[in-house]
């Protein structure tokens, strides 16, 4: 894989893209290439490490979704309680 370093003017961080993505980022996102492209070979991680990382990421995504769901459910239940309270007030 051939990658190079890119930077967005005015930002403090550097990111790395392969040739096709780098060209797209320069053209559409304002990034500037700040290094030459170099050939890089990334040695793969052991399968058990990759699977464990994927399981952790999925568990985190699931928990985030559960939290979002609970927040929405709490909002609906609160609105329902307010409406029921208004109904009881008008009958008094």
Same domain, 48 and 33: no
Domain residue limits at 79: 44-92
Residue 6 sits in the same domain as residue 19:
yes
> What pLDDT was estimated at residue 30?
87
- Whether the model pTM is above 0.75: no
Residue 61 and residue 89: Cα distance in Å, rounded?
42
CB 35 within 8 A of CB 5: yes
Read off the tokens for 79: 């609105």
- What pLDDT is attached to residue 27? 83
pLDDT per position in the chain (92 positions), as tens? 999 999 999 999 999 999 888 888 888 888 899 999 999 999 999 999 999 999 999 999 999 999 999 999 999 999 999 999 888 776 66
> Measured over all CA atoms, what is the biggest interatomic distance in the chain, rounded to whole angstroms?
78
Residues 49 and 90 in one domain: yes
């Amino acid at each position: 894989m051939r990658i190079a370093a890119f930077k967005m003017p005015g930002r403090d961080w550097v990111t790395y893209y392969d040739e096709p993505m780098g060209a797209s980022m320069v053209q559409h996102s304002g990034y500037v290439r700040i290094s030459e492209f170099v050939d890089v070979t990334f040695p793969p991680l052991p399968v058990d490490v990759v699977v464990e990382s994927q399981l952790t990421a999925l568990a985190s995504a699931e928990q985030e979704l559960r939290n979002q769901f609970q927040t929405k459910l709490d909002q609906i239940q609160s609105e329902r309680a307010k409406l029921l309270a208004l109904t009881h007030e008008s009958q008094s």
